[in-house]
């Protein structure tokens, strides 16, 4: 049983790092994007990967809580709250792209600013959680 718990902690840590990596890749792509169609294509392929990894972090956290019969401590509640905030921010960021037409560059530039702010917030949320996990 302890081996499963230890393995889930390692998996949880690597998954959190993967989310950080996904956020950085998204930030790089939105910063460099000039063509709405190409970015939409990238977004369509890459967002499900990001959502799956975020789900993997949440799932491994739930498995760890269930395996050790952990209570809802302050740290666990903070991680749950940050996970919910992260999911809501990601949905807002993704939804904004849905209404932009391929030829509307002004709307895309406005989306880029909002998206960059959301990605910076997400990065700091994950970084704070990850540093808290290590302590």
In tens, the pLDDT along 26-63 reads: 999 999 998 899 999 998 899 899 999 999 888 888 88
Write out pLDDT tens, residues 106-123.
Answer: 899 999 999 999 999 999
Number of domains in the chain: 1
Residue 99 has what pLDDT? 84
Range of the domain at 68: 2-134
pTM: 0.86
Burial class (CB in 10 A: 0-12, 13-18, 19+), 66: exposed
Please state the length of the chain: 135
Alpha-carbon distance 56 to 10, whole Å? 12
């Amino acid at each position: 049983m302890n081996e499963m718990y230890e393995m889930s902690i390692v998996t949880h840590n690597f998954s959190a790092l993967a989310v950080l990596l996904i956020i950085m890749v998204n930030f790089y792509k939105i910063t460099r994007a000039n063509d709405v169609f190409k970015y939409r294509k990238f977004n369509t392929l890459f967002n499900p990967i990001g959502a799956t990894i975020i789900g993997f972090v949440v799932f491994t956290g739930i498995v760890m809580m269930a395996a050790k019969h952990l209570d809802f401590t302050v740290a666990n509640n903070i991680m749950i709250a940050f996970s919910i905030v992260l999911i809501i921010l990601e949905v807002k960021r993704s939804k904004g792209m849905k209404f932009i037409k391929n030829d509307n560059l002004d709307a895309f530039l406005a989306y880029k600013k909002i998206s960059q702010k959301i990605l910076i917030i997400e990065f700091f949320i994950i970084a704070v959680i990850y540093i808290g996990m290590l302590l």
